[in-house]
Structure 1
Amino acid sequence: MTETLHLPTARYTWGGDEFLFVEFDEAMNLTANYLATTVAQGLTGLALDGVVDVCPANASLLVRFDPDVLAPEELKRRTQELESQARTSTQHRAQTRIIEVPVWYQDPYTAEVVQRFREGYHQDPSGTDLDYAAHVNGLADAAEFIRRHHGSPWLVSMVGFVAGLPFMYQLVPREQQLEVPKYLSPRTDTPPLTVGHGGCFACIYSVRGAGGYQMFGIAAAPIYDPAQELPDFRDFLILFRPGDLVKFRPVDEAEYRSIQEQVEAGIWRFKQAPVTFDVEAALADPDTYNRTLLEALDGAEN
């Protein structure tokens, strides 16, 4: 007997002549994201003539193809085969990695921007984004919110919006997830490497630009390196891939400056380790499984 991932039948629709859209569920969850990522990896591995791009998202998949090379119904058939294989597999596991991301919480760069965008932009103009996030989650203060934010791993559910920006989903039971609404009106400025939060998703802004997520701190090292100067970017200019796991680690100003010096010298490397992500184990006992994931970083070097 094989286990089937219990989700509604995926919805297949066409976007004009060149796009196939597959929706595994209406809401983000580990099962839907696992299917989206696994089917995307399977399509990429098939290397079908006519497939231009494969873009997995939180709970869906978009495939761009050339209908003059690959018949639409053939692409749909091959995608459905991969979906069936992913659903009926006896093991729902993925080989991935866990990456430690140093973050300077309550830094002066995002704090300055926070103060510039209050009246008319934010739900609570009198405080800070961290104060507001703590309040809406029923926590004592910003310090408790920060502890909850970096205390558990996050799953990179998709990468996009701007080059290299990861959307991350907290690996805790749904009732424990941190949830914060976006700004009432988007800002016209967000510092690069801002660690933000909107809804149930965390993100890291890879470049400076507009944004509407609450701002909690700043990552200490680049996640997008177009020049591919740092060792972690030798193979690709974007750090994160869908399916990666992230552990935020708080740092103070001194360590932030030290990391910046290593970045400038071209020697900085992210601490990371290979792991096997097991969907059933993550759903069955999140606390125990998260400790196992985080232990993988103990022997890793950066």
Structure 2
Amino acid sequence: MSIQATRYSLGGDEHLFVELSEAMSLKSFFKGMMMTRALREKNLLGITEICPANASFQIRFDPDMLSVQHIISVLKDIEAGLGEQDMCLDTRIVEIPVLYNDPWTHETLMRFRERHQDPSSTDIEYATRINGFKDVADFISAHSQTPWFVSMVGFVAGLPFMFQMVEQQKQIQVPKYLRPRTDTPKHTVGHGGCFSCIYSVRGAGGYQMFGVTPLPIYDPKQRVTHLSEFMIFFKPGDIVKYKPITRTEYDQILVELSNNSYRLKSKPVTFSLNAFEQEPIAYPQQLLEALYVD
């Protein structure tokens, strides 16, 4: 997959926006990750923030200390140095339990049916139908059996955007609501376009709602073990495996979280973009196997 020529544009006096592609792909995401990582390693005096996104990134800088022309020159040198090398990332794969078809998102979606493309069905039934799955169980299996790549964290504090690691023609795609809801339960597993997400807080939203996870993914008070190092759980580059659970399992996890005995399943992995592009079916499954090997 080719990527368009990189575009540079100013956002006021202190921000440089770098667009790598108009469409999301793992290749454009990895290019952005490698460019921003190399830029951080240079420790240029005057750069105050670097924020990666799905197919772009933004840099905040002090124009009294560093010219935008110099930043662009450095970035062009970094980009030229990438060449055709294999883009690898040392990251982690994590298992996220999900109660699909839960009562809380169901109650919410029923309150906003007039804003939906298909008021006669639920969000997950609608997604099942337009993606050509035979039934909801088949859809849940497809949604949970392949890994998802966290390409961006933000918009709302701690909210991850995730890209399904399958061939493009097999990606689950669902439009957002016709008009956004004014309410979405915290920890809702949503989907809009080709992106999955987990709502980190309760609030407005327009993504289709498939279920909820019991796991907190954002907590400024850092009250659970998996948030002890930082208040935001997800990082760009994380690989996510959704695990369907029952209501009983959901309630049990809440109990374990309350007494801090729950242990999230996570393993370090090295992701190779070349390996994924060469074996888009077998390679993600190899990554998933690593999650369950002691």
For structure 1, the 5+ residue unaligned runs are none
Q: Does 1:31 align with 2:27?
A: yes
Within the alignment, does 1:269 sit opposite 2:293 as a pair? no
**Does the 8 Å contact 1:52/1:66 carry over to 2?**
yes
Alignment partners' CA distance in 1, 2:286 and 2:188: 28
Q: 1:273 is matched by which residue type in structure 2?
A: K
Aligned to 1:59: 55
Query: CA deviation digits over 1:64-92, x for unaligned, max 9?
Result: 11111222112112222222233x15321
- Give identity over the alignment, percent: 49
Q: Does 1:222 align with 2:216?
A: yes
Indicate the residue corresponding to 2:149 in structure 1.
155
Aligned to 2:75: 79
Q: Distance in 2 between matches of 1:43 and 1:234?
A: 28
Structure 2, unpaired ranges of 5+ = none
Structure 2 counterpart of 1:80, one-letter code: K
Q: Which amino acid aligns with 1:14?
A: L
Aligned equivalents of 1:263 and 1:47: distance in 2? 39
Residue 14 of structure 2 corresponds to which residue in structure 1? 18
In 2, Cα distance between equivalents of 1:80 and 1:234: 38
Superposed CA RMSD: 1.3
Q: What is the CA distance between 1:268 and its match in structure 2?
A: 2.6
Q: Paired residue for 1:100?
A: 95
Aligned residues: 294
Contact 1:230 1:269 in 2 (8 A): no
1: CA distance, partners of 2:241 / 2:195: 14
Report the residue type matching 2:94 in the other structure: I
**Residue of structure 2 in register with 1:244 after alignment:** 238
SS for the counterpart of 1:13 is strand
Q: Distance in 1 between matches of 2:273 and 2:101?
A: 33
Deviations 1:240-261 (A, max 9, x none): 1111110000010111111111
Residue by residue over 1:188-216, the C-alpha shift from the partner in whole angstroms, topping out at 9 and shown as x without a partner, is 00000000000000000000000000000
Describe how 1:1-302 pairs up with structure 2 within 5 A: 6-86=2-82, 88=83, 90-119=85-114, 121-299=115-293
Cα pair 1:130 1:142 within 8 Å, conserved:
yes
Compute the displacement of 1:291 (Å).
1.1
Q: Which residue type is aligned with residue 176 of structure 2?
A: K
Deviations along 1:123-162, one digit per CA (max 9) or x if unpaired, are 1111100110001101111111111100100000101110
CA distance in structure 2 between the partners assigned to 1:269 and 1:163 by the alignment: 23
TM-score, normalising length from structure 2?
0.97
TM-score by length of 1: 0.94
The separation in 1 between residues aligned to 2:81 and 2:96, in whole angstroms, is 34
* Cα separation, 2, equivalents of 1:50 and 1:261: 47
Distance in 2 separating the partners of 1:47 and 1:296: 35
Cα displacement (A) at 1:51: 1.1
| Corresponding letter in the other structure for 2:274 | E
